[in-house]
Amino acid sequence: MKKLFTKIAIALAGFTSVAVAQQDPQFTQWMHNRLIYNPGYAGTSGAICGVLQFRQQWVGFAGAPQSIAVAADMRLQNVPALGLGLSILSDKIGPMNTTFARLAGAWNKQLGLGTLGLGLDVGILQKSINASWIVPEPGKVDPTIPGTYGDALSNPALGKATYDLGFGAFYQIPGKFYAGLSSTHLPAQQVIGSGAVKYDLTRHYYLMSGYTFNINPRNDFAVNLKYKSDLAAGALDINGMYTFDKKISAGASYRLGDAAALLLGYQMPYRNYTFKMGYSYDFTLSKIKGYSSGTHEIILGVCLTQKVKKITAYGDDRFLN
């Protein structure tokens, strides 16, 4: 088990001279927290929204990924063309711990029935890698990777912070349609630690879209798609969600070659607020399925609909659209 995990950890690490896989946290209920992928989303719903998301991946697997995301965004009433957002993410896997903190700003422009947002986020990225883990092949020494190599060498831990930048374009008609294109870690810099220890950050690209079919006043069905790539590997998420009476939702997701998931949600309006909670369970389809009992994810959120001084063409500010 430990040997298997260390091999997986190296594949995910992004070290120099090691095959690089995607480095950003993975979420199943991503459609409820789009700001963490695309700064252009900030302000486009017209509401003040906050989201808390927790994911425990591969339950029962020692050192399995654990991810937390907190995000909030709003449109400035005094400057309606400006949307602001803040996102904080923590991602742990084995000996690695990554923390992101980003401030997003987006220019909002009414376009047709919806709003186009062009955004930029800037922040810091903290990468920590503990040197106490056991490398899978102690006889082979790589000076760029922290860890204990027996009597041969013990590389120091990595603990370094660096700046981070991202860009995105996002268009949405609240409650009906959205599409976005974005990129994170634009500088793609190298995080350098003590000695020869280092870590390569890679740019990630996101393409997402969704459409809600209003079957009748009490029944909706939404389809959501997200494709993520770092130009070395890609991941496609396909999701379908049925909502009854604008409150109770149920659906399913499929991540190509990785997992299938069931999702449940509840949305409750109260005065100018809308509260939402959601839960998803991933059934692992990859080779990891023999070592874990699936993945749990919880999301909590709230939105405050701002009073609109001027009637717009899309005054339906719904939660997390």
> Rounded distance, CA 172 to CA 169, Å?
10
**Domain spanning 2-305: which CATH class is it, in words?**
mainly beta
Smallest CA-to-CA distance from 269 within 245, 235, 293 is with: 245
> Rounded distance, CA 311 to CA 321, Å?
19
Over residues 238-250, the pLDDT tens digits come to: 999 999 999 999 9
Which DSSP category does 230 fall into?
-
The pLDDT-based confidence of 233 (bands split at 50, 70, 90) is confident
The pLDDT-based confidence of 321 (bands split at 50, 70, 90) is low
The pLDDT-based confidence of 22 (bands split at 50, 70, 90) is low
Rounded to 5 degrees, what angle do the CA atoms 304, 182, 296 make? 65
Q: What is the pLDDT of residue 318?
A: 45
| Average pLDDT for 203-211 | 97
Query: Is residue 188 within 8 Å of residue 203, measured between CB atoms?
Result: yes
Instruction: Show me where the domains of the chain are located.
Output: 2-305
Sequence-distant (≥ 6) Cβ neighbours of residue 177 within 8 angstroms: 114, 209, 210, 211, 212
The pLDDT-based confidence of 126 (bands split at 50, 70, 90) is very high
Q: What is the pLDDT of residue 287?
A: 77
Query: Is residue 261 within 8 Å of residue 252, measured between CB atoms?
Result: yes
CA distances from 264 to 12, 71, 146, 240, 267 (A): 29, 21, 41, 11, 11
> Rounded distance, CA 137 to CA 148, Å?
10
CA distances from 37 to 12, 33, 45, 87 (A): 19, 8, 16, 10
Q: Average pLDDT over the chain, rounded to whole?
A: 86
Over residues 28-43, the pLDDT tens digits come to: 999 999 999 999 999 9
Over residues 258-272, the pLDDT tens digits come to: 899 999 999 999 999
Q: What is the pLDDT of residue 317?
A: 45
Amino acid at 141: V
16 vs 141, higher pLDDT = 141
> Rounded distance, CA 169 to CA 167, Å?
7
Q: What is the pLDDT of residue 292?
A: 73
Amino acid at 208: M
Residue 79 has pLDDT above 70, yes or no: yes
